[in-house]
């Protein structure tokens, strides 16, 4: 009487080893640079905070006046460990805190300069004011860059248009 063979064939073992190699190569490439994730998180938080400030300004338009005291304000500051995003509109206060790796946030209205040549948010806080219609005051586009000391991670560029809309990418003329 013959006993059935137990175990795996050589072809099955080689196939499993090849699949594990492919999966591990993919996982290593996705997890090797946490720096790119933290710049994306900061970029998304700045866009979300700018849009929230704009929506808050529009929802409070009956309360807002032309004076700066009635405007909605977004302030972005940073220390060595965190980025702080604060939205203030009358009695409304919203605060967000994002852990900082080695990223720098730079901002300015010079669209041809390199990101590092713009004003650093750690030195001078980035302050955005929105009027009751959600427009940025003063009415001019603002370029925001998030960059890292790592050459392997590309800078993220944002634009806050004169209408107050925040989006990823270069500012349109």
- Which domain does 154 fall in, by range? 57-173
On whether residue 116 sits in a domain, the answer given is: yes
The model's pTM: 0.74
Q: CA-CA distance, 149 to 155, in Å (whole number)?
A: 10
Bridge-partner residues for 160, per DSSP? 142, 166
Q: Supply the pLDDT for residue 67.
A: 44
Q: CA-CA distance, 84 to 98, in Å (whole number)?
A: 7
**Is pLDDT of 129 > 90?**
yes
Q: Supply the pLDDT for residue 172.
A: 80
**Is pLDDT of 66 > 60?**
no
Query: Which range has highest mean pLDDT (21-30, 59-68, 119-128)?
Result: 119-128
154-170 mean pLDDT: 90
- CATH number assigned to the domain comprising residue 92: 3.55.40
- Name the percent of the chain lying above pLDDT 90: 38
Q: Quickly count: other Cβ atoms within 10 Å of residue 120's Cβ.
A: 13
On whether residue 26 sits in a domain, the answer given is: no
On whether residue 108 sits in a domain, the answer given is: yes
On whether residue 52 sits in a domain, the answer given is: no
Pick the closest to residue 38 from 159, 171, 149 (CA basis): 149
Q: For 82-94, how does the pLDDT look when each residue is reduced to its tens digit (9 = 90+)?
A: 999 999 988 889 9
Phi, psi of 85 (to 5 degrees): -120, 115
């Amino acid at each position: 009487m013959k006993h059935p063979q137990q175990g795996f064939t050589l072809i099955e073992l080689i196939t499993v080893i090849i699949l594990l190699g492919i999966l591990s190569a993919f996982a290593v490439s996705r997890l090797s640079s946490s720096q790119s994730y933290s710049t994306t998180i900061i970029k998304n938080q700045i866009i979300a905070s700018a849009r929230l400030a704009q929506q808050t300004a529009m929802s409070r338009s009956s309360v807002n006046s032309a004076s700066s005291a009635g405007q909605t304000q977004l302030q972005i500051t940073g220390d060595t460990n965190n980025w702080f995003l604060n939205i203030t509109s009358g009695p409304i206060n919203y605060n967000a805190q994002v852990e900082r790796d080695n990223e720098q946030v730079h901002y300015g209205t010079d669209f041809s300069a390199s990101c590092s040549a713009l004003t650093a948010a750690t030195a001078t806080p980035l302050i955005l004011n929105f009027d009751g219609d959600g427009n940025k005051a003063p009415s001019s586009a603002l370029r925001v860059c998030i960059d890292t000391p790592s050459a392997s991670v590309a800078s993220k560029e944002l634009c806050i248009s004169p209408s107050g809309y925040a989006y990823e990418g270069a500012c349109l003329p």
